[in-house]
């Protein structure tokens, strides 16, 4: 029996895995499909328990719990499976060649939270009719939503990054030997899969999710790890969900994905995400230069 492939130590994060040719399609397709299937089952069960007042476009606490758990379970289980296929420690899917860095995560979480607050404030000021907010209220539904958000939304955000940027991106990149081409394929392919799993039929919304996939891929590659994309995904999803729950007039909040749900207003948060990407890449470049200078002087 041949030895398992080992990580490519000299290559950047995102193109550092060695996989046999048949493994990338499985890693790209099976986890998202399993996530969607589990999401449908749990969502239908939640809707039957909670009643007809909630569904695909108006989400209550149990529906949100179903969505978040389906993502969390699938994403977390993806990591050990892919690590085993690639013959690497599971931490190699979080960062490479450096170790996972909590300080990085904390810094980028603050940056991402600031970006998310600014994006929501800009939308509220410039296009309030597109936010979906109806008014503040505190009901049992509101409290239920807030509890579910606090308990499971960070897990779901982490799981999506593990699934798409931690697993799918380097898996696709393993098909190509030249590093830049490999990174481009991994970033584009994983971003497309990320956008497709959001099941949006609106071109603006689909394009926005595709852009977010590319932006988080750029942060992962540039920082040699998942701390920055995890921080953005966690801050964006959690803060926005809290706002949606508090401003839903005491009911469930809207989750519109059909035609007409998006629009040019999505350029506003996209531009702020782009600013965050540039800031992360500039900081990481300075850190690499500093580390290089320290090595040379040593």
User: Could you tell me the residue ranges of all domains in the chain?
Assistant: 23-290
Q: What is the pLDDT of residues 204-225, one digit of tens each?
A: 999 999 999 999 999 999 999 9
Task: Provide the pLDDT confidence category of residue 259 given band limits of 50, 70 and 90.
Answer: confident
C-beta of residue 12 within 8 angstroms of C-beta of residue 224: yes
Q: What is d(CA 234, CA 217) in angstroms, rounded to the nearest whole number?
A: 15
Q: Are strands 253-254 and 58-59 parallel, antiparallel or unpaired?
A: antiparallel
pLDDT at res. 256:
81
The pairs formed by 177-183 with CB atoms below 8 angstroms and a separation of 24 or more are 179/11, 179/12, 179/15, 182/11, 182/14, 182/15, 183/12, 183/14, 183/15, 183/221
Whether 2 shows a pLDDT value over 80: the answer reads no
Other beta carbons within 10 Å of 190? 29
Mapped onto helix, strand or coil, the DSSP state of residue 255 is coil
Write down the pTM of the prediction. 0.94
- The phi, psi pair for 289, rounded to 5°, reads -65, -40
Q: State the angle between helix axes of 61-86 and 23-50 in degrees (0 to 180), rounded to the nearest 10.
A: 160
Other beta carbons within 10 Å of 52? 7
- Of 68-72, 154-158, 258-262, where does mean pLDDT reach its minimum? 258-262
Q: What is the pLDDT of residues 110-120, one digit of tens each?
A: 999 999 999 99
- Of 130-134, 146-150, 241-245, where does mean pLDDT reach its minimum? 130-134
The b-or-e profile of 276-290 (16+ CB within 10 A means b, else e) is: bbeebbebbeeeeee
Share of the chain above pLDDT 70, in %: 93
pLDDT at res. 222:
97
Token pair in block for residue 133: 């907010």
Nearest to 141 by CA among 269, 252, 268: 252
pLDDT at res. 85:
95
C-beta of residue 163 within 8 angstroms of C-beta of residue 82: no
- Tell me the mean pLDDT in the region 53-80: 88
Tell me what the pLDDT averaged over the chain comes to: 92
């Amino acid at each position: 029996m041949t030895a398992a492939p080992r990580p490519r130590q000299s290559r950047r994060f995102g193109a550092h895995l060695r996989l046999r040719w048949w493994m990338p399609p499985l890693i790209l397709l099976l986890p998202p499909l399993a996530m969607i299937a589990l999401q449908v089952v749990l969502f239908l069960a939640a809707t039957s328990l909670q009643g007809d007042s909630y569904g695909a476009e108006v989400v209550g606490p149990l529906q949100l719990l179903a969505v978040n758990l389906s993502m969390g379970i699938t994403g977390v289980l993806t990591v050990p499976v892919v690590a085993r296929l690639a013959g690497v420690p599971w931490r190699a899917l979080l960062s490479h060649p450096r170790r996972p860095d909590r300080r990085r995560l904390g810094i980028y979480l603050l940056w991402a939270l600031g970006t998310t607050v600014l994006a929501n404030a800009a939308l509220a000021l410039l296009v309030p009719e597109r936010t979906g907010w109806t008014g503040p209220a505190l009901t049992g539904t509101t409290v239920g939503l807030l509890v579910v958000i606090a308990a499971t939304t960070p897990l779901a955000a982490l799981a999506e990054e593990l699934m798409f940027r931690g697993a799918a991106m380097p898996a696709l990149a393993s098909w190509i030997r030249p590093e830049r081409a490999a990174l481009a394929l991994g970033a584009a392919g994983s971003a497309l899969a990320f956008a497709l799993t959001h099941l949006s039929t609106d071109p603006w919304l689909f394009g926005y999710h595709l852009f977010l996939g590319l932006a988080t891929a750029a942060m992962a590659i540039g920082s040699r790890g998942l701390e920055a994309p995890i921080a953005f995904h966690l801050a964006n999803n959690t803060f926005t969900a809290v706002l949606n729950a508090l401003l839903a007039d005491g009911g469930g909040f809207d989750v519109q994905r059909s035609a007409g749900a998006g629009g040019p207003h999505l350029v506003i948060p996209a531009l702020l995400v782009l600013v965050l990407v540039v800031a992360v890449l500039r900081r990481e470049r300075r850190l690499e230069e500093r580390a290089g200078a320290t090595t040379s002087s040593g």
